[in-house]
Amino acid sequence: MNSISNRVDRILELFPARRWYTALTPFERLVSTILSQNTSREATIKGFENLRRRFKIVPKVLAEATVEDIRECIKPSGLYNSKAPRIKELARIILNEYEGNLDSLTRLPPHIARESLLKIPGVGFKTADVFLSTVCGTDTFPVDTHLTRMAKRWNMVKANATYEHIRVAFEAAIPGEKRQNAHLSLIEFGREICRARQPKCATCPIYGECEWERKGDFKAGA
Ligand code: SF4
Residue 209: pLDDT over 60: yes
Query: Ligand 1: which atom is nearest the Cα of residue 199?
Result: 7
Q: Where are the alpha helices (DSSP H) in the chain?
A: 3-14, 26-35, 41-54, 59-64, 67-74, 80-97, 103-106, 110-118, 125-134, 145-153, 163-173, 179-192
The answer to whether residues 150 and 190 touch, using CB atoms and an 8 Å cutoff, is yes
Residue 19: pLDDT over 60: yes
- pLDDT of the residue at 132: 94
- pLDDT of the residue at 198: 94
**Per-residue pLDDT tens over the stretch 93-121:** 999 999 999 988 989 999 999 999 999 88
User: What is the gyration radius of the CA atoms in the chain, in angstroms?
Assistant: 18
Residue 52: pLDDT over 70: yes
Q: What is the CA(205)–ligand 1 centre distance, in A?
A: 8
CA distance 173 to 166: 11
**Per-residue pLDDT tens over the stretch 118-137:** 998 889 999 999 999 988 99
Q: What is the CA(194)–ligand 1 centre distance, in A?
A: 5
Q: Calculate the average pLDDT of the chain.
A: 92
pLDDT over 90 percentage in the chain:
83
CB-ligand 1 contact for 207 (6 Å cutoff)? yes
Give Cα 75 to chain centroid, integer Å: 19
Residue 222: pLDDT over 70: no
The whole model's pTM is what? 0.88
Banded pLDDT at 221 (limits 50, 70, 90) = low
CB-ligand 1 contact for 201 (6 Å cutoff)? yes
The answer to whether residues 23 and 58 touch, using CB atoms and an 8 Å cutoff, is no
The answer to whether residues 205 and 197 touch, using CB atoms and an 8 Å cutoff, is no
Q: How much is the average pLDDT of 129-156?
A: 94
DSSP state of 15: S
Residue 14: pLDDT over 60: yes
- pLDDT of the residue at 39: 85
From the CB of residue 86, how many other CB atoms can be counted at a distance below 10 Å?
21
Residue 21: pLDDT over 70: no
DSSP state of 214: T
CA distance 8 to 162: 21
* Non-local CB neighbours of 52 within 8 Å, separated by 6+ positions: none
Query: Ligand 1: which atom is nearest the Cα of residue 214?
Result: 3
Q: How much is the average pLDDT of 148-160?
A: 97
The answer to whether residues 201 and 219 touch, using CB atoms and an 8 Å cutoff, is yes
Q: Which residue of 148, 149, 154, 194 sits with most ligand 1 atoms within 8 Å of its CB, as the best mutation to test the pocket?
A: 194
- Domains of the chain by start residue, with CATH: 3-16+142-218 (1.10.1670.10), 26-134 (1.10.340.30)
The answer to whether residues 201 and 207 touch, using CB atoms and an 8 Å cutoff, is yes
Q: What is the CA(141)–ligand 1 centre distance, in A?
A: 21
pLDDT over 70 percentage in the chain:
96
Residue 213: pLDDT over 90: yes
Q: What is the CA(173)–ligand 1 centre distance, in A?
A: 18
Q: Which residue of 7, 10, 185, 207 sits with most ligand 1 atoms within 8 Å of its CB, as the best mutation to test the pocket?
A: 207
CB-ligand 1 contact for 74 (6 Å cutoff)? no
Q: What is the CA(9)–ligand 1 centre distance, in A?
A: 15
- Distance between first and last Cα of the chain: 30
- Using alpha carbons, list the distances in angstroms from residue 48 to 111, 124, 168: 28, 19, 30
The answer to whether residues 147 and 166 touch, using CB atoms and an 8 Å cutoff, is yes
CB-ligand 1 contact for 191 (6 Å cutoff)? no
The answer to whether residues 30 and 131 touch, using CB atoms and an 8 Å cutoff, is yes
- pLDDT of the residue at 2: 62
Banded pLDDT at 47 (limits 50, 70, 90) = very high
